[in-house]
């Protein structure tokens, strides 16, 4: 949802929507067919893991080693990443879900509220991970997932067009103008906005989304209202009027333009890098627009254990003793291009300056809130930003209304 | 005993053998009564084979449902199977033999789905109320068992002593052994090898395979750390290391309460499907309960929804009606044009016209949303020479775009059915009109169109119903946008009822999921569509009678 929307993802969203609309029927009609997978003899004691395409190969090779050593069967089930969360929520209570699934840390609030994940006791292994990775998977003092990769946006710079990293937004725009390219800075936006990618710019105005407790966990109290938020909104309007940022720039358009050298800068994540082959890149911190540090969201990918798993022992063993190794973490890094969450593996991956750059930016970043209230924020946030950018809404009034709407949605 | 003579009389009557000598004459009679007893026909063999397959599948399904514990599915499968056997092996069920397959599919795919949706509409199924109470309790207990802060992890071995499973750990180089009923105590005679207990006198050490076979027992085993229960218990998650944990919530099944061990707060199970303390604090995991008409009340009573709901309802009707009318008129016009024998290359044109129909709807809508991008879209860039027309972001233009794209997508279908209907018009009627001196317009209006409408009206109604729920188009093209500026819910100017259901219920991930509310809204839509279809079909019937 927040990283541009390739056609496939939208298609999946649709399929998901349609199955959700008629989902009730699947229970009954699927009853006769699902037992072929759920009760197919071997899978009864096999460890079932849900993975998506990018992680399939890496997880399968880890599973192979685990199978050989423990003489157990591991079944790696390929699923679309977009489907995993909904299917996991729906299937774990029926007893037909997997033992393990890959997932993102910001699902955590929803998964615990519905009681479908079990905590993991990492023991002394916890210290071997990057602190932010463990922090992201922690709720109420319990760790609920084994992290394997962290991801965050940063400023990707085409060094042929801009020799120095800009320290402020205005410097970046000036450098873009000096480069003489059609765009000064590219940020994917779209008519529904992209608050995830815009977040570092917003935090540079001192307007993080939720108030944080002292230990770094989020409360459900909104922090992006008031003067800092309004200042950000006003700034957005100015950028829209100046034509620096536009809602017409979708993910595809932004990536294509940067690839063709039409801008020295793009704000984006490691998932874009593959498409920029042949360009000399440098990864820098996002320039501050409001004076304060520009902190992006950090997303952490990891594995969750089902609360209804019959193979809890195997599942935990697999995670703590196989996935939490340099070998597997590096294999997952190769597959997904995101920096590993295990500190030693991350260090090894940092040999690549791009990975090192993203890691360095991530060090100052904050985990994306995983509290269930976050779900109510997205729907209003992006559209409001897009409307301010396009000039359809007055910045301060629209921002204040957004805060009120989110508060009403959280309260309901 | 007045009946007995009658019975025997009846029995002997038809056979025509008074006196009870029922030997030889009985067989010709039976042959006459049951013609199937003659030589077995191939049809019968096929029937038996088919029924064998159906029975095998049915029994397989029943066994599978039994193993999965789905009693509802099991019961309905048994009923369906028994009915199927009865219908196809009884001689008195001829009509049912033809109706049953359709009836069975109707039950499974339609009635059940509607019924289940109806049921969900009266529950609070959604985020936080995802499952049963047992699972909610279980989830709360596992979420609230904490490792003792700052405590060590111990190398752990699973042992069996006196028929009970136990743990052997190494603490400060010293082996300790205990079971669920027997707290950990030092076992100086145990062999410790490489920081791990490998042998315990009077107990067997389980191999990895044995542990895996009993993993449910192992993961649920709690061995008290000492005689003092406040010290917590040792447990393991991977059977390699153990740690000391204490529960922070306690479940009392008798009183139906959860008690926070640390603060002493008591949470009672409430009728809304969650545990609540006296001062209103709620534990995060709840379960599904019936909530009566609450969801319907929210759908219509919540002022945040009420105003957008009316707007969306009106637009849904406008969209569905305009889509049907515009596609039908364009399709009809083209059908008449290409039905005229004077047009050259009709086949080529007709083939070309089918193109939009051949492209999957969601793909076409997605392509169009790209082509209508304000700055980079094909329409603005190439066709309009760089004009920045906000096709998808201006409320009225967005509605026009939706209708336009739907026209592009839908007219080939109408073209097809109109061509078919036109070609099947009886020539003699048209001839008669000509003889009576009717002109082309008069013939068309009084003869062609009414006959055409008789054939196409049911399709127009189904097309209306389809467009009423045309989620694909809306979602792919505009996602319901542009947003209502004055509403406090994430709904927009081009949202139709079904896309409203989708976003209000949180299925798109922008709000907490609420399947109960979504189902309630679906039921409302179902009622609307069903009513309209029923009324229109009734009127069509009258129409048919007139013509």
pLDDT tens over chain B, length 547 residues? 333 433 333 433 343 334 443 444 444 444 444 444 567 788 888 888 999 999 999 999 999 888 877 788 889 889 989 988 888 888 888 888 888 888 888 888 888 888 888 888 898 888 888 888 888 888 888 888 888 877 788 888 898 887 888 888 888 878 888 888 888 888 888 888 878 888 888 888 888 888 888 888 888 888 888 888 778 888 888 888 888 888 888 888 888 888 888 888 889 888 888 898 888 888 888 888 888 888 888 877 777 777 888 889 899 999 999 999 999 999 988 888 888 778 788 888 878 877 777 778 788 888 888 888 887 888 888 888 877 788 888 889 999 999 999 998 888 889 888 888 888 888 888 888 888 888 888 888 888 888 888 888 888 888 988 898 899 899 888 888 788 878 788 888 999 988 988 887 777 766 778 888 888 888 888 888 788 878 877 877 766 665 5
**Residues contacting A54, CB < 8 A, separation 6+:** A81, A335, A336
Which of the residues A99, A191, A388 would you substitute to probe the B interface, choosing the one with the greatest number of B C-beta atoms within 10 Å? A191
**Residues contacting A25, CB < 8 A, separation 6+:** B109, B112, B113, B116
Q: Does A215 touch chain B (CB under 8 A)?
A: no
Q: Which residues of B touch A113 (CB under 8 A)?
A: 127-128, 284-285
Structure tokens at B401: 């775009």
Query: What phi, psi does A247 have (nearest 5°)?
Result: -75, -10
**Residues contacting A244, CB < 8 A, separation 6+:** A173, A184, A185
Q: Which residues of A touch B216 (CB under 8 A)?
A: 310, 312
Q: Does B67 touch chain A (CB under 8 A)?
A: yes
CB B446 within 8 A of CB B425: no
Structure tokens at A51: 């993975």
pTM over 0.95, yes/no: no
Q: Is A311–B72 a contact, with Cβ atoms under 8 angstroms apart?
A: no
Residue A167 distance to chain B (closest CA, Å):
30
Which of the residues B63, B207, B210, B237 would you substitute to probe the A interface, choosing the one with the greatest number of A C-beta atoms within 10 Å? B237
Q: Which residues of A touch B363 (CB under 8 A)?
A: 7
**Residues contacting B67, CB < 8 A, separation 6+:** A35, A39
**Residues contacting B356, CB < 8 A, separation 6+:** B364, B408, B409, B411, B412
Encode B500-520 in three state secondary structure.
Answer: HHHHHCCCCCCCCCEHHHHHH
Q: Which residues of A touch B240 (CB under 8 A)?
A: 317, 321
Q: Which residues of B touch A34 (CB under 8 A)?
A: 68
End-to-end CA distance of chain A: 24
**Residues contacting B128, CB < 8 A, separation 6+:** A113, A114, A372, B274, B284, B285, B286, B512
Q: Which residues of A touch B145 (CB under 8 A)?
A: 119
pLDDT digits (tens, 9 = 90+) for A148-185: 999 999 999 999 999 999 999 999 999 999 999 999 99
Considering only alpha carbons, which residue of chain A is nearest residue B121?
A: A24
CA nearest to A276, candidates A160, A152, A150, A151: A160
pLDDT digits (tens, 9 = 90+) for A69-120: 878 888 999 998 888 988 898 888 887 889 999 999 988 988 998 889 999 8
Distance CA A280, CA A285 (A): 17
User: Shortest CB distance from B215 goes to which of A22, A312, A375?
Assistant: A312
Which of the residues A1, A11, A29, A32 would you substitute to probe the B interface, choosing the one with the greatest number of B C-beta atoms within 10 Å? A32
Distance CA A307, CA A114 (A): 10
ipTM: 0.72
Residue with tokens 């390699």: B240
pLDDT digits (tens, 9 = 90+) for A192-251: 889 999 999 999 999 999 998 887 788 888 999 889 999 999 999 999 999 899 988 989
Cα dihedral A280, A284, A290, A295 in deg (nearest 10):
130
Residue B232 distance to chain A (closest CA, Å):
16
User: Shortest CB distance from A38 goes to which of B68, B76, B512?
Assistant: B68
Q: Does B105 touch chain A (CB under 8 A)?
A: no
């Amino acid at each position: 949802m927040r990283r541009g929307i390739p056609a496939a993802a939208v298609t999946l969203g649709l399929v998901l929507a349609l199955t959700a609309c008629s989902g009730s029927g699947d229970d009954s009609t699927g009853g006769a067919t699902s037992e072929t997978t759920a009760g197919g003899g071997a899978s009864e004691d096999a460890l079932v893991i849900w993975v998506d395409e990018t992680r399939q190969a890496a997880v399968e090779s880890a599973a192979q080693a685990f199978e050989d050593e423990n003489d157990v069967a591991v079944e790696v089930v390929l699923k679309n990443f977009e489907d995993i969360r909904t299917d996991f929520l729906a299937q774990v209570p029926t007893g037909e879900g997997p033992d393990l699934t890959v997932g993102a840390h910001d699902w955590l609030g929803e998964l615990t509220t519905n009681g479908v994940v079990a905590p993991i006791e990492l023991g002394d292994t916890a210290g071997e991970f990057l602190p932010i990775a463990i922090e992201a998977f922690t709720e109420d003092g319990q760790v609920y997932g084994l992290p394997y990769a962290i991801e965050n946006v940063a400023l990707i710079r085409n060094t042929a067009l801009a020799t120095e990293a800009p320290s402020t937004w205005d410097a970046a725009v000036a450098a873009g103008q000096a480069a003489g390219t059609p765009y000064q800075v590219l940020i994917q936006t779209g008519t529904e906005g992209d608050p995830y990618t815009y977040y570092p710019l917003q935090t540079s105005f001192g307007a993080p989304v939720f108030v944080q407790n002292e230990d770094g966990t989020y409360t459900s109290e909104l922090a992006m209202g008031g003067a800092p938020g309004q200042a950000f909104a006003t700034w957005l309007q100015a950028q829209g009027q100046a034509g620096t940022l536009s809602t017409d720039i979708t993910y595809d358009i932004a990536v294509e333009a940067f690839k063709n050298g039409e801008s020295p800068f793009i704000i984006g994540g490691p998932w874009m890098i593959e498409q920029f082959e042949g360009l000399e890149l440098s990864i820098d911190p996002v320039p501050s627009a409001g004076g304060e540090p520009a902190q992006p969201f950090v997303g952490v990918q990891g594995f969750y254990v089902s609360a209804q798993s019959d193979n809890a022992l195997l599942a935990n063993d697999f995670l703590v003793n196989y996935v939490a190794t340099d070998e597997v973490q590096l294999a997952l890094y190769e597959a997904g291009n995101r920096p590993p969450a295990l500190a030693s593996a991350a260090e090894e991956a940092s040999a690549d300056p791009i990975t090192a750059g993203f890691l360095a930016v991530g060090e100052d970043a904050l985990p994306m809130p995983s509290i269930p209230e976050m779900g109510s924020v997205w729907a209003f946030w992006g559209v409001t930003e897009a409307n301010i950018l396009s000039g359809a809404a007055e910045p301060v009034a629209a921002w204040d209304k957004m805060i009120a709407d989110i508060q009403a949605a959280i309260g309901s | 005993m007045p009946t007995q003579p009658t019975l025997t009389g009846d029995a002997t009557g038809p056979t025509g053998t008074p006196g009870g000598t029922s030997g030889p004459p009985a067989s010709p009679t039976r042959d006459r009564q049951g013609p199937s007893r003659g030589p077995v026909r191939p049809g019968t063999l096929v029937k038996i084979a088919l029924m064998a397959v159906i029975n095998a599948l049915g029994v397989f399904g029943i066994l599978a449902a039994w193993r999965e514990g789905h009693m509802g599915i099991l019961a309905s499968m048994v009923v369906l199977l028994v009915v199927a056997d009865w219908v196809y092996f009884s001689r008195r069920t001829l009509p049912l033999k033809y109706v049953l397959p359709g009836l069975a599919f109707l039950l499974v795919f339609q009635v059940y789905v509607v019924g289940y949706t109806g049921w969900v509409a009266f529950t609070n199924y959604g985020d936080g109320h995802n499952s049963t109470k047992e699972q909610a309790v279980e989830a709360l207990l596992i979420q609230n068992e904490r490792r003792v802060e700052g405590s060590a992890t111990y190398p752990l071995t699973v042992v069996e002593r006196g028929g009970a499973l136990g743990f052997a750990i190494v603490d400060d180089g010293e082996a300790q052994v205990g079971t669920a009923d027997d707290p950990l105590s030092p076992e100086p005679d145990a062999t410790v090898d490489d920081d791990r207990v490998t042998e315990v006198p009077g107990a067997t050490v389980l191999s990895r395979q044995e542990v895996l076979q009993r993993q449910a027992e192992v993961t649920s085993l709690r061995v008290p750390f000492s005689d003092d229960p406040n010290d917590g218990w040792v447990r393991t998650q991977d059977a390699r290391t153990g740690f000391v944990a204490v529960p922070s919530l306690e479940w009392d099944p008798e009183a139906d309460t959860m008690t926070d061990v640390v603060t002493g707060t008591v949470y009672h199970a409430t009728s809304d499907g969650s545990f609540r303390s006296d001062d209103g604090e709620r534990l995060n995991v709840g379960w599904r309960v019936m909530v009566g008409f609450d969801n319907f009340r929210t759908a219509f009573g919540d002022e945040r929804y009420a105003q957008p709901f009316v707007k969306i309802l009106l637009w849904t009707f406008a969209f569905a009606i305009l889509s049907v009318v515009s596609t039908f008129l364009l399709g009809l016009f083209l059908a008449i044009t290409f039905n005229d024998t004077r047009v050259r290359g009709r086949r080529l044109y007709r083939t070309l016209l089918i193109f939009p129909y051949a492209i999957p709807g969601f793909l076409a809508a997605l392509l169009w949303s790209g082509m209508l991008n304000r700055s980079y879209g094909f329409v603005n860039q190439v066709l309009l020479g760089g004009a920045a027309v906000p096709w998808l972001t201006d409320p009225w233009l967005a509605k026009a775009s939706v209708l336009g794209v739907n026209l592009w997508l839908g007219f080939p279908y109408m073209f097809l059915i109109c061509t078919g209907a036109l070609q099947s018009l009886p020539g003699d009627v048209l001839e008669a009109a000509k003889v009576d001196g009717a002109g082309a317009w008069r013939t068309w209006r009084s003869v062609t169109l009414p006959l055409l409408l008789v054939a196409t009206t049911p399709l127009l109604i189904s097309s209306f119903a389809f467009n009423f729920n045309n989620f694909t188009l809306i979602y792919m093209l505009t996602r319901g946008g542009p947003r209502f500026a004055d509403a406090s819910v994430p709904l927009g100017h081009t949202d139709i009822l079904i896309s409203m259901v989708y976003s209000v219920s949180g299925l798109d991930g922008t709000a907490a999921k609420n399947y109960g509310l979504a189902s309630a809204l679906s039921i409302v839509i179902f009622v609307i569509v069903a009513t309209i279809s029923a009324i229109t079909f009734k009127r069509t019937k009258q129409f048919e009678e007139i013509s």
